[in-house]
Amino acid sequence: MNPILECRGLTKRYSRTSAANALDHLNLTLERGQIVGLLGPNGSGKTTLIKLINDLLVPTSGTVLIDGKQPGVETKRCISYLPERNCLNPSMRVKDMVSYYGDFYDNFNRQRAGQMLDDLQIDEHSRLKTLSKGTTEKVQLILVMSRDADLYVLDEPIGGVDPAARDYILQTILTNYNENATILLSTHLIQDIENILDRVLFMRTGRLVLNSSVDEIRMEKKKSVDMMFREVFKC
Amino acid sequence: MPWELQNDRPIYLQLMEQIRQDIVSGKYEPGKKLPSVRELALDAAVNPNTMQKALSELERSGLVYSQRTSGRYITEDETMLNQLKHELAVTHIRQFFGKMKQLGFEHEEILSLIQELAKEEP
């Protein structure tokens, strides 16, 4: 079986005049069945990597393979992607958005979406533009987590939601994820998610500076990932 | 309610400690079935792989054993359970002594203080 994600010498430079590569010869292999945290300061290349995985950017050089395939229609079927910004049509109602996703993705589970909307007390009949920023984020995450994907790529999934909903979302991630799926999530809220991660990736100026399991870090450094991050990236 | 986990030590070790504690305190009874990895992971709010590792380690120590298809069970070995209880007690007392010494108490003082307070306990 191919690894779910493989990057070889992956490089992205946004323009010929830019001073540095946004992503600089990145080599990375992710196996199935893990929850992986993608961590790094602002501008370290996290979102660039995520966009390359999702075929929203074309590499300057190097390759990215998802289950052995180049990004494209086939890989979008097996990746469930939560973008960093709102991608939902503001004039649509929540329930229409659910049907839209259901029509679009054959691995979308409507029942699961309905259950999560109920749990978070989101009214299916509201139009998206009437919802708060946090609630919109929740709806978007529900849509993404309701798919049975092989790879979930979540760009800042818990940034704008309140702590109680954050707990529910982490719980949702733990409940819905199956043993063969991999979740790659970027965040700055390390402390909140540390316990659910298998592995963390630290990025700095487009490079991978650490790829290690959470318990390895705790065992060797006697520190939490959060403390380690603050130390490595001290300003 | 997620389990209380500290920051400076591996998570799986802390999960093992918590489950040991729960076995000694009787939350999980000897010979009874443990909840599944997924249930325990959700309860503790940790990664299922980490919970799996903690349970495998406990299995290696013999405290729990797995029945091929039906899950994991707590040992019925009384000697082992008593030994575990003893070990936990020793750990707590050592910690307590350490803290009292930091406060500047000598052994004799600590012991007499304990006896004094034990009388007040119902």
The ipTM value here is 0.80
- From the list A174, A214, A222, the residue facing B11 with the nearest CB is A214
Residue A3 has pLDDT above 80, yes or no: yes
Residue A173 C-alpha, separation from nearest chain B C-alpha, in angstroms: 10
pLDDT at A163 over 90: no
Q: Tell me, what's the pLDDT at A176?
A: 76
> pLDDT value at position A162?
83
pLDDT classification of A106: cutoffs 50, 70, 90: very high
C-alpha span between A30 and A45 (Å, rounded): 17
Within 8 A by CB and 6+ apart from A186, the residues are A37, A38, A39, A46, A47, A50, A154, A155, A156
pLDDT of residue B69: 80
Q: Best residue in B3, B7, B9 to probe A by mutation, most A CBs within 10 Å?
A: B7
Q: What is the mean pLDDT of chain B?
A: 90
- Decide: A59 and A5 in contact? Cβ < 8 Å: no
Query: Do A219 and B47 lie within an 8 Å CB cutoff?
Result: no
Nearest residue in chain A measured CA to CA from B41: A174
Mean pLDDT of B28-48: 91
Partners of B64 in the β-ladder: B74
Asked if B48 and A215 come within 8 Å (Cβ–Cβ), the reply is no
For residue B88, what are its two tokens? 């936990």
Residue carrying the six token digits 């733990």: A174
Question: What residues of chain A lie within 8 A of the CB of B45, using their CB?
Answer: 167, 170-171, 174, 195-196
Mean pLDDT of A151-165: 87
- Average pLDDT of chain A, as a whole number: 92
Instruction: Give Cβ neighbours of residue A75 (< 8 Å, ≥ 6 apart).
Output: A55, A66, A67, A69
Residues of A in contact with B41 (CB under 8 A): 174
CB atoms A223 and B8 under 8 Å: yes
Q: Note the helical H segments in chain B.
A: 11-24, 37-44, 48-61, 78-102, 107-120
The whole-angstrom distance between residue B86's C-alpha and the CA centroid of its chain comes to 11
What pLDDT was estimated at residue A93?
96
- B47:A222 CB<8 A: no
Is a pLDDT exceeding 60 seen at residue A166? yes
* Interchain proximity B47–A35, CB inside 8 Å: yes
Q: Distance from first CA to last CA of chain B, Å, rounded?
A: 31
| A128: CB partners within 8 A, 6+ apart | A88, A89, A90, A91, A92, A93, A94, A97, A136, A139
* A197–B12 CB contact, under 8 Å: no
- Class of CATH domain B11-74: mainly alpha
DSSP secondary structure letter of residue A146:
T
CB spacing of B5 vs A195 below 8 angstroms? yes
Least confident of A14-18, B41-45, B92-96: A14-18
pLDDT tens by residue, B94-105: 999 999 999 999
pLDDT value for A97? 95
Average of per-residue pLDDT across A187-193: 89
What residues in A contact B48, CB-CB < 8 Å? 174, 179
The class that CATH gives domain A5-232 is: alpha beta
What is the per-residue pLDDT for B1? 56
Say what percent of chain A tops pLDDT 70. 100
pLDDT tens-place string over residues A34-71: 999 999 999 999 999 999 999 999 999 999 999 999 99
pLDDT digit string, tens, across residues A119-153: 889 999 999 999 988 889 889 999 999 999 999 99
pLDDT at B121 over 80: no
Query: Considering only residues 113 to 172 of chain A, which have any Cβ-Cβ distance to chain B shorter than 8 Å?
Result: 167, 170-171
Instruction: Please state the domain extents for chain A.
Output: 5-232
Question: How far apart (Å, rounded) are the C-alpha atoms in residues B35 and A65?
Answer: 38
pLDDT at B68 over 90: no
Distances from the Cα of B84 to the Cαs of A163, B33, B77, B97, in angstroms? 37, 19, 11, 20
Q: For residues A29 and A44, give the distance between their C-alpha atoms in angstroms, rounded to a whole number.
A: 19
